[in-house]
Amino acid sequence: MRARHPLPRLWLMSDERLGDDFLGIVARLPRGAGIVFRHYELAASERRALFEQVRRIAQRRGLVLILAGSGTQAKAWRADGVHGRNRRHTRALLRAAPVHTLHEMAAARRVGAQIVFISPVFLTRSHPGAPALGRMRFAQLAQQAHAFGMAPIALGGMTAWRARTLPHAHGWAGIDAFL
């Protein structure tokens, strides 16, 4: 991660559900927040163009911007980091990984992730019908993340209030919480 950014405690996970106000939501994030740019459903050229708009806002607002994709793509797009399970990464970038199980936690450690997005902590529209980890399981995974030197970020049905009730979380991320 670039030295100009401390590790964010608040993260926006981009998603098509954010709709037409997505750029407005990005512009309203507090200074120092983070964004994981996903928008997988867009055509490649549209995704790239939207990322560039978000990157310009992020630079002006002092936001950390991570691209879900490959390290090569993240570096080419001038992202601050890369999000995913890809074993190949670019050393200069912040590395984040999704984690749902202890096995995935170990995999995140092997790829050198500095941040793990542990989910779903609570029931969420992103994964309808999927069981939630709950507070106890989240705490176990978060403690494991801390032991590995990774920052655990709570994701899934999160709100600012719920985040404050999770003592082992470095921070939290959401989609619907920003709508």
Q: What average pLDDT does the chain have? A: 92
Judge whether residue 115 has pLDDT over 90: yes
pLDDT interval class at 17 (50, 70, 90): confident
Looking at residue 92, its pLDDT comes to 76
Looking at residue 87, its pLDDT comes to 67
Spatial separation of the C-alpha atoms in residues 64 and 6, rounded to whole Å: 9
Looking at residue 2, its pLDDT comes to 45
* Bigger pLDDT: 165 vs 127: 165
Radius of gyration of the chain measured on its C-alpha atoms: 15
Spatial separation of the C-alpha atoms in residues 140 and 102, rounded to whole Å: 9
User: What is the model's pTM?
Assistant: 0.93
| Residue from 92, 179, 106, 96 nearest 147 by CA | 106
Give percent of the chain with pLDDT exceeding 70: 94
| Residue from 151, 99, 95 nearest 121 by CA | 99
Please state the CATH superfamily assignment of the domain spanning residues 10-178 in this structure.
Answer: Aldolase class I (3.20.20.70)
Distant-in-sequence, close-in-space partners of 43: CB < 8 Å, separation ≥ 6: none
| Residue from 147, 138, 137 nearest 172 by CA | 138
Looking at residue 146, its pLDDT comes to 97
Which of 65-74, 79-88, 100-109, 163-172 is predicted with the least confidence, judged by mean pLDDT? 79-88
| Max intra-chain CA distance, the chain | 42
Spatial separation of the C-alpha atoms in residues 76 and 124, rounded to whole Å: 33
CA dihedral sign of residues 38, 42, 44, 46: negative
What is the number of helices (H) and of strands (E) in the chain?
A: 6, 8
Looking at residue 37, its pLDDT comes to 98
- Domain residue ranges of the chain, discontinuous segments joined by +: 10-178
pLDDT interval class at 170 (50, 70, 90): very high
